[in-house]
A and B are shown apart, each in its own frame.
Chain A
């Protein structure tokens, strides 16, 4: 067993090396776990929506609960105009949730503990929301950067501040998910290492910490997926209903 708490985040190649031009697109353990979570989402929702019985079985209940959960979240934060984007937000939420939850199983790899994965997700959301805003409002979307009731002298400064705060959205979105997942998993590994090194005598205290941390991490895994989705809804709300 690796003693280094960071070695759980190593990305390694599975199978042969594939290169396209200068890019290395080999199949790695990260891609494996992305595929596992995607396939399991598809399986759960396929089985969940196969038989629409009035008395749902467990899988159907799970599918229906998550549907209503996300639908309520969207209508609460972004209003009825955001209904067409339900599929996007739902798949985003489910993907992040399943990646986080698969990372909780021992010996698995947590895809969302790598900043490049979360940053690509956040960057696509950011670009998508900006494009939607420009399609819906044209150049009027730029009014987002000009708050009403500001004296003309302060306007250049305020506009710069607003642009920086707009550009910081994808960074704060991705850093939050990545930092939560990485910190939690590192901490669990460190406490696990304490159990081994303190042995049968003193290992019980870190073991109990580990158990508590596992519970906390499951909460964080769900919560971060929720926060990721709800912030996407909030940004979408800014783009759809422009009143700043």
Chain B
């Protein structure tokens, strides 16, 4: 004896919904978004470091030194940012 057609359809729909939820939780929202997030984070930290170094150099008159130091500190900060957000993504 066949089941009630509405009930079978309801079951199929419910299965689909639960599968979809599982899928959503596992996958990232979008690969483009994550790629852009990582790259901008790296670049932004380097930019901020260089700007800070530039400002220090202007105020103290020590032309190349602070910009050199803070450029590399900015690079390190950018890499830390990338590692941190990559760790967050893996959770």
Contacts and interface: CB of A to CB of B under 8 A. Distances in A.
Given A164-B48, A164-B77, A165-B77, A172 B33 contact: no
A155 interface: no
A7 interface: no
Contact of A176 (B37, B80, B81): B37
Contacts of A172: 37, 40-41, 43-45, 81
Interface centre among B48, B52, B70, B74 (most CB of A within 10 A): B48
Contacts of A224: 33
Would you call the interface of chain B mostly helix, strand, loop, or mixed? helix
B1 interface: no
B36 interface: yes
Interface residues of B, number: 24
Interface residues of A, number: 22
Would you call the interface of chain A mostly helix, strand, loop, or mixed? helix
A187 interface: no
Interface in B34-91: 36-37, 40-41, 43-45, 47-49, 52, 70, 73-74, 76-78, 80-81, 88
Interface of A: 157, 160-162, 164-165, 167-169, 171-172, 175-176, 179-180, 219-220, 223-224, 226-227, 234
